Amino acid sequence: MASNPHTPDSKPPSAPARTDRQHWMAVLARATAADIATLLDTCAPAPAWQVLRGPESGLVMVRGRTGGGGEPFNLGEMTVTRCTVRTEEGQVGHAYVAGRDGNKTKLAALVDALLQGSSRASLIQQRVIEPLERGQRAQRETTARKAAATRVQFFSLASMRT
What is the pLDDT at residue 35?
A: 93
pTM of the entire predicted model? 0.75
Q: Torsion angle, CA of 33/35/37/38, rounded to 10 degrees? A: 160
Q: How far is CA 162 from CA 60, 99, 158, in A?
A: 55, 54, 9
What is the pLDDT at residue 66?
A: 86
What is the pLDDT at residue 160?
A: 59
What is the pLDDT at residue 89?
A: 87
d(CA 39, CA 104): 13
- What amino acid occupies position 107? L
Domain positions in the chain: 20-128
Tell me if 24 sits within 8 A of 125, measured CB to CB.
yes
Task: Please list the pLDDT of the chain residue by residue as tens digits (162 residues).
Answer: 444 444 444 444 444 556 888 999 999 999 999 999 999 988 878 888 999 998 999 999 999 888 878 889 999 999 999 999 999 989 999 999 999 999 999 999 999 999 987 678 888 999 999 999 999 999 999 999 998 888 887 766 566 555
What is the pLDDT at residue 4?
A: 44
Q: Where would I find the beta strands (DSSP E) of 29-111?
A: 49-65, 72-87, 92-98
What is the pLDDT at residue 47?
A: 84
d(CA 129, CA 43): 12
d(CA 162, CA 146): 33
Residue 162 CB contacts under 8 Å (≥ 6 apart), including other chains? none
What is the pLDDT at residue 154?
A: 73
What is the pLDDT at residue 12?
A: 43
The SS3 call for residue 75 is strand
d(CA 95, CA 114): 13
Count of H-run helices and E-run strands, the chain:
6, 3
